[in-house]
Amino acid sequence: MNRILAAFAAGLLFGLGLVVSQMVNPAKVLAFLDIAGAWDPSLAFVMGAAIPVAWLGFTLAARRTRPLLADAFSGPTRSAIDARLVVGSMLFGAGWGLAGYCPGPALASFLWTGAPGLLFLLAMLGGMAAFPVADRLLSRRAAPR
C-alpha cells in the first residue's frame, strides 16, 4: 500500500510540475522549439531547474543500499546506442515537435484540452500498443536465417 501511495504522490507532484511549468500547453512547447521564429526560452528554465533536482535525487540514491519501498534498485538493462534507440528518439522528437505533447504532459492535460488532447492521447496509446507487434516483425526480418 505504501508503494501505491508513494507512486500516487510522485505522479501528482510530477503532474503539478507539468501544469505549473506549462509543459501541458502545446503552444508553449512549440514556441520553445521554434528557435528560428518566435522563440520562447522559458522552458529552458524548467530544464535548468530539473537538472539539479535530478542530480540531488541520484546522489542521495547512490548512498543507499536499497530503495525505501522496493527490494532493489532497477535501472536500464541495456546501454548500447542501437537502431531501436535512435529511431525511437527520432519518433519521440518528431511527435513532440509536431504536436507539442510528449507522454507525461499528454496524460496530464487531456482532460482540459478537449478533442485535440484526447486525439493525441489515443494515438499515443495506439502507438504504444502497436510497438511490440512491429518490434517482433522487424526483429524477425533482421534476424539471420
Q: Taking each helix axis as running N to C, give the angle between helix 115-142 and helix 83-99, from 0 to 180 degrees, rounded to the nearest 10.
A: 160
Q: Is the pLDDT of residue 102 over 90?
A: no
Number of domains in the chain: 1
pTM: 0.73
Q: For residue 94, what are the domain limits?
A: 2-142
Dihedral angle sign, alpha carbons of residues 16, 17, 18, 20: positive
Check residue 1 and give its pLDDT: 80
Distances (CA, A) of 13 to 7, 54, 63: 10, 14, 24
% of the chain with per-residue pLDDT over 90 = 32
Check residue 103 and give its pLDDT: 85
Q: Taking each helix axis as running N to C, give the angle between helix 2-20 and helix 103-113, from 0 to 180 degrees, rounded to the nearest 10.
A: 70
In the predicted model, what is the mean pLDDT of the chain? 87
Check residue 98 and give its pLDDT: 86
Task: Fill in the DSSP letter of residue 37.
Answer: S
Alpha carbons 145 and 136: distance in angstroms, whole number: 15
Q: Is the pLDDT of residue 114 over 80?
A: no
* Nearby residues of 19 by Cβ (< 8 Å), 6 or more positions away: 108, 109
